[in-house]
Structure 1
Amino acid sequence: MSTQKSSSPKRFPKRKTLVLALSAVIPLVGFSAQIQAQESSEVEKQSDKYRAEPVVVVATRTAKTLNEAPSSVEVVTSETMDREGISTIAESLLDIPNVDVVSPESPVYSSISIRGSDRDQITYLIDGVRQDNYTMSGNRPAFIFVDPEMVKQVEVRRGGGSSLYGNGGIGGTLSVTTKTAQDLLKPGQSYGAKLKTGYNSASREWNRSAFVYGQHGIYDAVIGYSRRDGSKISLSNTGRRSATERDSQYDAVMAKLTVSPSQDNRFTFGYSYDKPQQWSGPANDRMFYELKQHRVTGSWDYRNGDWIDLKVNLQYSKMDNSYDNRTYNPEAYFSDEFESYSGNVQNTSIFELGGTHVLTYGFDVSQTKQHSKNASGLSDESRPDSEGLDAGVFIQDEYSLNDYLTITPVVRFSYYDRTPKSGQKDKYGLEGQTDSKVTPGVTFTVTPTDELSVYFSAQTGYRPPFLDELYTAMDYADYGMYSVVLPNSNVKPEESLNLELGVNGDFKNVFAQEDKLSFRASVFRDKIKNLIVAGLTGDMEVTPGGDMILYYSIDNVGSALKKGFELSADYLIGNFDFHASYGYLHAEDEDTGEKIAGITPQQAAFRAGYTYHPWDLNAWYRLRAYKGGKSSEETVYGSGEYKDYAGFATHSIGASWTPEIPGFADIAINFAVDNIGNKKYRYLNGGYGYSRTYRTWISATF
């Protein structure tokens, strides 16, 4: 059922006023408009795919174009990743305002923060299924493992809200969609292959990938393999290569089969395997980290009229992790086995009752198990065997009263259970924990014209403690200090309230014929209580040998208030494309009023590109700027005083040449230089930047 509105002549003056106001903030438009007439013939050569707005699901669980989504959402497409030579999912997010990344080059240690959140305060989705591999002790990265070569699109929804995707998501939601053969095939093609290789000097990394794919009748299949090999990192705080020996490898395999018996009935089966490894340190202090993940997925999409639009997703995931530093300490070893079973079902029904209702409802469930071993092959006493269960039911109604106003209430009932399983529960008095919560939310969307929408939303978040936060128990002696981590089975769930006011716009023919301006802006206020933090208990002892004993535990510590705004804009004219973004974030401890350290207060990005179609050549320039402030690094360990880092800006340039060899292959040759000025800097979150680096890569699509 279509709810498309027609333009109203009475609203045209409002649109014209808005366009005039926007003209004051769009740089370089005059210059671009002068060139527009000279290149009008080349404009037609730009593909509709390049100009079309991405379709997102993460905002409401229903498909919408990016500028229709009533939430603060940003998208990174596979085209962007290919153009910029992205090496990890985390690296692809660097231009999104109020998103911070640590170690973006590393598939093992990279992590993200949305609006100042911790990495475990984010809900991660792959092809619509939750990924619940959370940890706090460094044993298992709290992130998702998908090689960028396998990715069709990454959606980032900023702001809390657990009503749609369940327990978690205090800071936001990150959703990854993987590729099918249809995403890779050229028009009119039934079968194809893609080969790619490249080099990144930042970590002396070579990457190689190969895909074969095809469509035949009701079948769509793709198989891909990717391999990355890297070594020493070039850090920008010194401008030189790190003195620490370092090698890394990352192997990834993906296979995906889609069967479509009819246009409205589709089954998808997938398997992925990820194996990142990293070695670092000299021979007498060699650290080795390895992770192996197997992920088996299945989904069913079925549509029948307005009442049935059914989506079913199932996933089994198994992770095997190991850390080995026994060359330095015979006990410095662990292995970690983690399993999860996840599934969700949703249906969307459209009907008329005092307006148009798009009713989406369903349930989801996720069960997790973890088991750890020490250097002797016995159960690791620091992390006892345990199990977790998260489940919930939800219902959302996108109720359009008329062409101008939509009200979207949503409510979810969430349940969780945490259970220790090993003998350690008696030694430390570990207890199980079970609770439930109703998390409501509502969004009001006003659409004065087809090109403009304004929304206001109030959403609640709920993040129960994960297994490590409840049950980690550890004794560790080092350098005259004895650290004891005490488990705490009484940790309460974090809760949040997110208020957001936003505007989305998508205009064509603004300053010249065939140009396009799209923008997204939002003002937000996020309040989080019962923050779960690891820290000192305040107890202190001294052993007979003179070693200091410090006690640590996980506990709920106060609340945080985060407020700010985000702005992103894209402008296309002729063969020029521009992107600009800006984020402002103020985060404070609500009890003390003090600013929270390690959070970037302001960041901005600007990108300009030009495509010369007769030569199939694209060139681009990018600026990233960060405001300085109080970092996450203490002046003296345990002092509570933090170092100040200066603000910085980096400049990058790149070019791509995409010639076609008729009847044989499409070729893409790319080259980029990052941090041209070799700027020395560090991020406030403690992450290191990189000195001047070079990237080059080439691909052939047959």
Structure 2
Amino acid sequence: MSSTHVCAHTFHRAHLLSAAAIFLIPSFAAHANELPGKERENAASTRQAAIKKTPEQSSRNTSKQLGAHVRTGAAIPISSNAAERLVVTATRTPQRIQDVPASVSLITRQDIERRMSSTLADVINRLPDADMAGGARTEGQIPEIRGFNGRDIILLVDGARRNADNGFAGFQTPLYIDPAFVQSVEVVMGAASTLYGSGSMGGVMSIKTLEAKDLLAPGRKWGAELDGGYQSANENAKGAAKVYGKWGKFDGLLAYAGQSFGPISLGGGQKLSPNNGTSNSALLKLGYDITDRIRVDFGQSFYYIENYRPANAQAQKFTVYNSSTKTYIPYYRQTGTRQDDSNIHLTTKDSDGKEDGRLTLYRSKMTSWYGPFIKTSIVGETQTLETYGADIQKIFRENFGYLGSHMFVVGANYYRDINHTLQKNGQGGGTIPDGQQQVYGFYGSDEIKLPYGIVLTPSLRYDRYNTFGSGSSTSTSGAILPKITLAWHPNRNWMVYLSWGKNYRAPTIQETNMNYAITPNSYYFLPNNNLRPESARTYEGGFSYNKSGLFSRKDHALVRATGFYEDATNLIQLSVVGHHWSPLYKTNEINYQYTNIQHATRYGIELRATYNIENINLGVSYSHLRVRDANTGANLLAQPDKVAADASYTFPKIGLTATYNLTAVEAQDYDSTIARRRPGYMLHDILFDWQMPGKPWRVNFAVTNLTNKTYYMYKSIASNNDVPEIGRSFRFNISYKF
């Protein structure tokens, strides 16, 4: 990519900061009426009372207190009713989002419906320091948080881990799920190894699927929904059906969703082809309240996608050399992936109705295949990754008077990954060798609430892994992972926190043993049996400011900011380690290998804010990240600066909400791997959500990438795949509730 090309598309950091400032000025205004002394204690008591309620009770009561000050349905990245929403992933206990001493983003069901998302990339790409990079195809989209991806991020679906990393079946997403089934997504930016163990160097992305209680209208025993839609840019037609109900102590949900898609219109008028396929998925949820304090849930889901495309889902064009004809021919195959999940949850509550125990058992299985390429000797291959896991947690609450009130959280986790590769000729092998890995850990934390609004949370974990590789030696190692967080709530508007913790991540079978050095391929993947576990020390601090009645009796403002610094050793990264001469291509081709970066540092900031008054909702987020090799000074993979801003207005008499979204991304022109650099860009989206008053109909319409911008997302994995993202798309969806 030429320097002229980069400069022509550069969106300077000064412009990003200016855009952020325009939206943030209202939220950073004067914060009068702070409450000292006795009033502060009363505010703390109010917070304690809210925490004692169940999430549903707390949400309802907070909504009543705020009244017209808080309106639901703000645009991404932060919903305007964030003050009344509870999140659990960051601390494993329910907390209001502004009280969480961590960098957390929440995506709601309403956010997904308004964008009529066919994949979760639509909503995740607008979060600070989070992306689904890898191109416009569903199969190529890979989650990234703070520059981490693959197994450096823990992906959870209803508590079950999705452990396929990027090397699985090529550059391919580990997250197959239809957005029609998603109730919410919590994204914790930053290390969370103390609570979740190996793999959370970059963060945790926790997805909750729909349940009957999420959809049932008050006083109804059953319900059903039908919806369908179309997106022009990828010829995506989709439909879904759900039926759900509650009968005494039983409740259940059964849902189906299907999509078809074709060649993708990219920004500027290019086509990404071939891309012809379908997806089908189903979800079954059953629940039973054994008593008022004990509940058991069962979930079963599957997702299947089939597509005719290049073997590398992130590539625009791909060719191989046909030795019989001595020509280069397109390398396209029929591919398919099936994701199956089963889980059981046993949940207990204390006498106050607060959850105090949870047991999760799960099985997750991803099977990906691609057919033989009939014009050459290249055979087909099937790869399977199966994960069995268990997670148990218990919460104890005690008040020790002047020593503070304590909430003890203790638990244990275990999972086993089983990887198997089978070629179409019945032989094992392929790019990723067979093998298994098991990981187990024990953790505990104590949230201590002291006088004057001080909350101290020490935590500790022991984690250990064992890797069993076919044809390779067994490796094992462990880690002791402490963390401590100090938060201060000086009044009901402010929260300030500092934290420090150790984190680690075990190398996977794929990273250690992946071996693909076969002519006539234009690239080699080389094994590395000397990989060591990643480890890091993370320092983080931040604040939140939450106030109703800032300028008016009917407004509400929320600001949350986080700054962090991380010192990481043995960071595992897919690197270019050299070249090889290809006699068929008559040129030097790239050698890739997973390597340990001896000493890397990363630092950054994440900022989120909303302002709501009457029917007007404003939101903005900003993120800044830099990662460097501490020994050489080289800039390592790091997502570019990003601003995501929103403005929406609701016409209450007709039930119509109009929303404008802006996404502005600075040029990534500082990565020392020049092939990864990308120009900056700005995207504009217009969304309309019409919920007809008193009617069961809902209509959504949108135009995304309004100016048909040609833009390239920063891809930290497939740096050589320079494919534009999806272009202008007209989206329409209609739904009906019975």
1:209 and 1:252 map into 2 onto residues whose CA distance is 9
Q: How does 1:196-595 map to 2 (within 5 A)?
A: 196-236=227-267, 238-242=268-272, 244-280=273-309, 285-305=331-351, 309-353=356-400, 354-421=403-470, 425=471, 430-478=472-520, 485-535=525-575, 537=577, 553-595=593-635
Aligned counterparts of 1:592 and 1:11: Cα–Cα separation in 2? 55
C-alpha change, 1:687 and 1:125, in structure 2 (3 Å) is: farther
Q: Select between 519-528 and 432-441 the one with higher mean Cα deviation.
A: 519-528
Report the CA distance between 1:323 and its aligned residue. Answer: 1.8
Match among 161, 175, 186 for residue 155 of structure 1? 186
AA aligned opposite 1:698: I
Corresponding residue to 1:680 among 710, 713, 730: 710
Q: In the superposition, relative to structure 1, how do residues 549 and 199 fare at CA in structure 2: closer, same or farther (>3 Å)?
A: closer
Once the two structures are TM-superposed, the CA of residue 647 in structure 1 deviates from its matched residue by 1.9
1:214, distance to aligned residue in structure 2 (A): 0.5
SS at match of 2:528: coil
Q: Secondary structure at the match of 2:195?
A: coil
After superposition, the C-alpha distances for 1:632-673 in whole angstroms (9 at most, x for unaligned) are 7x9xxxxx544754322111112121114x5xx511111111
Matched, 1:606 2:636: no
What SS does the aligned partner of 1:476 have?
coil
Structure 1, 281-290 or 267-276: larger mean CA deviation: 281-290
SS of the counterpart of 2:122?
A: helix
Cα pair 2:635 2:670 within 8 Å, conserved: no
1:171-227 CA-partner distances (Å, limit 9, x unpaired)? 111111111111111121110001010111121101100000011111110111000
Give the aligned residue type for 2:381. F
2-side partners of 1:561 and 1:47: how far apart?
Answer: 38
Contact 1:631–1:642 under 8 Å retained in 2: no
The 1:158–1:41 alpha-carbon spacing in structure 2 relative to 1, beyond 3 Å, is closer
C-alpha distance after superposition, 1:2-39 (max 9, x if no partner): xxxx98445989xxxxxxxxxxxxxxxxxxxxxxxxxx
Q: 1:140 to 1:216 in 2, by over 3 A?
A: farther
**Secondary structure of the structure 1 residue equivalent to 2:269:** coil
Contact in 2 for aligned 1:103/1:688 (Cα 8 Å):
no
Is contact 1:88-1:104 (8 Å) kept? no
Counterparts of 1:614 and 1:299, CA distance in 2: 42
1:249–1:70 distance in 2 versus 1, CA, 3 Å: same
Letter in 1 for 2:656: L
- Give the direction of change, closer, same or farther, for the CA distance of 1:262–1:254 in structure 2 (3 Å limit): same
SS class of match (2:126): coil
TM-score by length of 1: 0.87
Distance 2:656 2:185 in 1: 26
What is the rounded CA distance, in whole Å, between the counterparts of 1:190 and 1:403 in structure 2?
Answer: 46
* 8 Å Cα contact 1:600-1:626 kept in structure 2: no
TM-superposed CA distance for 1:475, in Å, is: 2.8
- Per-residue deviation, 1:81: 0.6
Contact 1:265 1:303 in 2 (8 A): yes
* Residue aligned with 1:61, SS: coil
TM-score, normalised by the number of residues in structure 2: 0.83
Q: What is the distance in 2 between the residues matched to 1:508 and 1:417? A: 52
User: Structure 1: how far apart are the matches of 2:292 and 2:585?
Assistant: 75
**Amino acid in structure 1 at the alignment position of 2:385:** F
Instruction: Trace 1:113-152 onto structure 2 (pairs within 5 A).
Output: 113-139=144-170, 141-152=172-183
Partner of 1:637: none
Find the aligned partners of 1:131 and 1:268 in 2 and give their Cα distance: 20
The structure showing larger relative contact order (alpha-carbon pairs under 8 Å, at least 6 residues apart) is 2
Contact map agreement 1:285 1:325 (CA 8 A) in 2: no
What SS is found at the alignment partner of 2:554? coil
Residues 627-642 of structure 1 mapped to structure 2, 5 A cutoff: 627-630=666-669, 640-642=673-675
* Aligned CA-pair RMSD: 2.9
Deviations 1:543-564 (A, max 9, x none): 8998979765433232321111
User: How many angstroms apart in 2 are the aligned matches of 1:604 and 1:47?
Assistant: 20
Distance 1:142 1:490, change over 3 A: farther
CA gap 1:546/1:254 in 2 versus in 1, 3 angstroms: closer
Residue type of the partner of 2:179? P
Instruction: Report the more deviating stretch, 599-608 or 282-291.
Output: 282-291
Partners in 2 of 1:138 and 1:318 — Cα distance?
14
2:392 counterpart letter in structure 1: V
C-alpha distance after superposition, 1:554-579 (max 9, x if no partner): 33232321111111111111011111
The 3-state SS of whatever aligns with 1:79 is helix
- Contact kept? 1:88, 1:105, Cα under 8 Å: no
Supply the distance in 1 between the matched residues of 2:187 and 2:447 (Cα, whole angstroms): 21
Other-structure match for 2:22? none
**Distance of aligned partners of 1:529 and 1:395 in 2 relative to their CA distance in 1, 3 Å threshold:** same
Q: CA deviation at 1:490?
A: 2.5
Task: Pick from 629, 653, 657 the counterpart of residue 686 of structure 2.
Answer: 653
Equivalent in the alignment of 1:21: none
Q: In 1, Cα distance between the equivalents of 2:348 and 2:204?
A: 25
The Cα shift of 1:420 comes to 1.5
Aligned to 2:126: 95
Kindly indicate whether the alpha-carbon contact (under 8 Å) linking 1:71 and 1:157 is maintained by their aligned counterparts in 2.
yes
Q: Distance in 1 between matches of 2:136 and 2:224?
A: 27
Equivalent position SS for 1:376 = coil
The residue type paired with residue 630 of structure 1 is D
Q: Which moved more, 1:141-150 or 1:370-379?
A: 141-150
- What displacement does 1:630 show? 2.2
Q: Given that residues 687 and 701 in structure 2 are in contact (C-alpha distance below 8 angstroms), is that contact kept between their aligned partners in structure 1?
A: yes
Q: Secondary structure of 1:83's match?
A: helix
Shift of 1:142: 4.9
CA distance in structure 1 between the aligned counterparts of 2:164 and 2:280, rounded to whole angstroms: 19
Q: Structure 1 residues 161 and 45 mapped into 2: Cα distance closer, same or farther (>3 Å)?
A: closer
**Bigger shift: residues 446-455 or 372-381:** 372-381
Among 606, 616, 622, which residue is 2:655 paired with?
Answer: 616
Q: Give the match for residue 693 of structure 1.
A: 729
Cα displacement (A) at 1:510: 1.1
Which moved further from structure 2: 68-77 or 273-282?
A: 273-282
In the alignment, is the contact (CA less than 8 A) between 2:691 and 2:699 conserved in 1? yes
The aligned residue for residue 17 of structure 2 is: none
Report the 3-state secondary structure (helix = DSSP H, G, I; strand = E; otherwise coil) of the residue aligned with 2:511: helix
Deviations 1:426-451 (A, max 9, x none): xxxx2110111001111000000122
2 CA distance for matches of 1:246 and 1:308? 46
**SS of residue paired to 1:600:** coil
Partner Cα distance (2:710, 2:340) in 1: 39
Question: What displacement does 1:95 show?
Answer: 1.5
Q: How many residues align?
A: 650
Residues 309 and 542 from structure 1, CA distance in 2 versus in 1: closer, same or farther, beyond 3 angstroms? closer
8 Å contact from structure 1 (residues 210, 224) kept in 2: yes
